[in-house]
Amino acid sequence: MRRATLQGAVAGALVGLTVVLAAGAAAQGPAVGAWATYEWRSSATVDVPVLVQQPGAAGGPATWSVESERAAPRPVFVTYAVVRGDTKTYVLQMATRLSPDGAPLSVTQVTVDRSSGKTLKAVIRDRKGVIPTPDSGFRPFRAAAMTGTPELVAVPAGRFTATKAPYRNGTVWVSDQVPVLGLVKGTFPDGQLELVKSGTAGAQDLLRS
C-alpha cells in the first residue's frame, strides 16, 4: 500500500504566548527597526487527506481511494518587529507566514506606551482593511527580570547563552542579545517556538507599505 499526501495540513494556531514586561525591566522598550523571526511547531495533530493505492487483482490496474490520517500541522513563522516609535510610544508588529520570507498571512500592530508598557491601540489587517482588534499582550522578555539558570541553547539562528526559566505551563530561554522579544526559545504544552533569524534594523511597516 502506498500513500501520497494530497495537501499539507493547515497551519496550526499560534501559541497563546502572553509576554508580559516585568516590573523594572527595560521600561523604554525595544529599538525602532529591530525584528526577530520565529518558527512555531505545534504539538497538535490534524486530519490530512491522503490517496491510498491498492494493487490491482491478478495484475489488473491499481485502484485509488481517499482516506485521512493524523499529522502535525506545517510550521508557522512569525516575525515580531518594532516599525515605528518616538520617545513616548512604539509600534510592535506581528506578521505570520508559511515560510520565513513568504507573503504575510496576517499582520497585527500594537501601539505601546514606553513608560508603562500598556497598550494604546491594537489593529489587524484583514480582507476589510485595517480594523481594531483585541490586544494579545505581547511584550518583551528581559533576562534581568527572569528567575532561572544560564544555559547554552542552540536554535536555527545560532547558539545563545540564555536564562532558562519556567513560564506559565512551559519553559523559556531569554537573552538580551535577541532583538524585540529577547526570546531565544520557548516550549509549551501545545508546541515549540524557536528563533530563526533577527536583526537590529530594517523592519518594514507592513500596514504602511
The residue among 53 and 23 whose pLDDT is bigger is 53
The residue among 87 and 45 whose pLDDT is bigger is 87
Measured distance CA(27)–CA(113) in Å, rounded: 9
List, in sequence order, every residue forming a beta bridge with 154; answer none if it has no partner. Answer: 159
Range with the poorest average pLDDT among 17-26, 98-107, 142-151, 178-187: 17-26
Measured distance CA(11)–CA(131) in Å, rounded: 23
pLDDT over 80 at 19, yes or no:
no
Look up cell 504566548; give the residue: 17
Measured distance CA(14)–CA(18) in Å, rounded: 11
pLDDT in tens, 152-167: 999 999 999 999 999 8
pLDDT of residue 55: 72
